[in-house]
Every structure is written in structure tokens, then in C-alpha cells.
């Protein structure tokens, strides 16, 4: 009896450096983020669903300005970020994140997040992940995602051409940011379903389905299984 041959598809990218979004990519914090935004929305008498619909993947201050222009956005941001940084419930490292980072040579990766530096550092440490030398946060840019500035800044700090960077993102705003900067994007179907991530060059269902290996030169081989 001849057994059927099962073919497994694989997508391969070549790049010089890799840029990660943080929440929903390296750190699983979606439930914590949702909870803190809902608490804030209820306190302000704002429709929770209206806030949640735009809260992922963009800077918090822009969300606040959009849904509550009458408030002091800077003051609300400080209050919100303090709560989020101290929230350790439902915050954990994504499966495969530590292994993926260890596979990348030093100086060839960075994190680009819409969160603040305080929040990003707190979540990386909570997850036991290293705080990278290249960490672009909300305070570092004039224009947040989906504008290309955050990812272009990270590429510049790494000393790598934008088109030589590969981005791993979980939100449509982040995908648009990277694509607008001329970068290839792998979307992770963690926060949003794959049907919402069609602007990416490829979609991975889990982070541990992505494998990274240097090929002996300046090129990194990135495979999605």
C-alpha cells in the first residue's frame, strides 16, 4: 500500500534585520490591554467598544484624542500607562519568542511599539526577554503607526536600509506602517484573525511557526512553516 505524500508549504524571506512589534507579537498582553482600556472607557463614560475598535496597534495618546478630545490627553496617558505597566495579570511571553530572538545575531533586531518606553520595558522584563538596544517607542516619534516613521527610525538606528528589514506585526496599523516604509511584513494572527491581515506579505498562525537562521553572510533566512 502506497501512503499519500503530504506536501507542506513553506514561505521564505531574506533580510538583514528583523523588527518586532511588541504587544501581540513578543508579549501576549491583549487581554490586559483590553481590560485597562475598558476600565478607562467606563470611567470616562465612553462606549467601550468604540475604544477597543481602535486601541490596538496605535499610540494610546492618539486613541484618547480620538475618543475624548475634551480631556487632557497627556494626563490621561500617564494614568493609563501606569496602570498597564503594573498589570501583571494576563501578560506573558508569547510561545516561541525567546527562541526566535536567540536565533538572531546581536545588533540585527529591534522592537517598534506604539506603547511608551516605561510600558515596553516593563512588559519585556516581565516576560523575561532582553530589552533590545534598538527600542522605538511612542515618545520617539512625531507620527505613530500607521505612519512609516516608527519603522523607518528603527531601520536608521540599526544602520540598515528599510527594504532590507523584515517586520513581524499583529495589527493592521502596524502592517501599514511597515509597508509604507518599504519593508516586508509577516503578520501574526494573534490579536486579529488572518482575514484582517491581508496587507501583510505572509501570515503566521503562531510565532513558533517562524524560524530564523543566519546563512553565513549578512543575510537572515526566515521561514514560515
Quote the pLDDT of residue 1. Answer: 44
pLDDT of 4 reads 44
Cis peptide before 67 (omega within 30 of 0): no
In whole angstroms, what is the distance from residue 208 CA to residue 189 CA?
12
Percent of the chain with pLDDT over 70: 96
Whether 48 has a pLDDT exceeding 90, the answer reads: yes
Q: What is the mean pLDDT of residues 75-91?
A: 88
pLDDT in tens, 88-119: 888 899 999 999 999 999 999 999 999 999 89
Question: Residue 9 has what pLDDT?
Answer: 59
Annotated catalytic residue, options 21, 28, 87, 170: 21
Average of pLDDT values for 123-130? 91
pLDDT at 8 over 50: no
pLDDT band at 189 (very low <50, low <70, confident <90, very high): very high
Annotated catalytic residue, options 23, 28, 87, 170: 23
How far apart (Å, rounded) are the C-alpha atoms in residues 65 and 73? Answer: 6
Asked whether the predicted pLDDT for residue 7 surpasses 70, the reply is: no
Across the chain, what does the average pLDDT equal? 92
Is 170 a residue of the active site? no
Least confident of 57-66, 83-92, 147-156, 201-210: 83-92
- Phi then psi dihedrals of residue 189, to 5 deg: -85, 70
In 27-177, which ranges are E strands?
Answer: 27-28, 92-93, 109-112, 135-136, 165-169
* pLDDT tops 90 at residue 37: yes
DSSP classification of residue 23? B
21 is catalytic: yes
Residue recorded with cell 546581536: 106
Distance CA 207, CA 187 (A): 10
Question: Rounded CA gap, 57 and 113, in Å?
Answer: 8
Give the pLDDT of residue 82. 87
- Asked if residue 170 lies in contact with residue 28, where contact means CB atoms within 8 angstroms, the answer is no
pLDDT of residue 6: 37
pLDDT of 141 above 90: yes
Scan for cell 543575510, then name that residue.
219
- Dihedral sign for Cα 45, 47, 53, 54, please: negative
Spatial contact of 208 and 96, defined as CB atoms under 8 Å apart: yes
Amino acid at each position: 500500500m502506497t501512503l499519500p505524500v503530504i506536501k507542506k508549504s513553506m514561505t521564505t524571506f531574506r533580510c538583514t534585520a528583523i523588527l518586532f512589534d511588541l504587544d501581540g507579537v513578543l508579549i501576549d498582553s491583549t487581554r490586559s490591554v483590553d481590560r485597562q482600556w475598558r476600565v478607562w472607557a467606563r470611567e470616562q463614560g465612553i462606549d467601550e467598544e468604540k475604544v477597543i475598535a481602535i486601541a490596538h496597534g496605535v499610540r494610546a495618546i492618539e486613541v484618547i484624542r480620538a475618543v475624548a478630545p475634551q480631556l487632557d490627553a497627556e494626563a490621561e496617558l500617564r494614568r493609563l500607562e501606569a496602570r498597564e505597566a503594573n498589570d501583571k495579570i494576563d501578560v506573558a511571553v508569547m510561545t516561541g519568542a525567546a527562541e526566535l530572538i536567540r536565533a538572531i545575531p546581536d545588533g540585527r533586531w529591534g522592537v517598534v511599539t506604539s506603547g511608551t518606553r516605561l510600558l515596553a520595558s516593563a512588559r519585556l522584563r516581565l516576560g523575561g526577554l532582553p530589552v533590545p538596544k534598538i527600542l522605538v517607542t511612542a515618545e520617539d516619534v512625531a507620527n505613530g503607526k500607521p505612519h512609516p516613521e516608527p519603522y523607518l527610525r528603527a531601520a536608521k538606528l540599526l544602520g540598515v536600509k528599510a527594504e532590507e528589514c523584515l517586520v513581524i506585526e499583529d495589527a493592521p496599523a502596524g502592517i501599514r506602517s511597515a509597508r509604507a516604509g518599504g519593508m516586508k511584513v509577516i503578520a501574526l494572527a494573534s490579536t486579529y484573525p488572518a482575514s484582517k491581515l491581508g496587507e501583510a506579505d505572509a501570515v503566521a498562525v503562531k510565532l513558533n511557526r517562524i524560524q530564523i537562521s543566519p546563512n553565513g553572510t549578512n543575510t537572515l533566512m526566515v521561514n514560515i512553516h
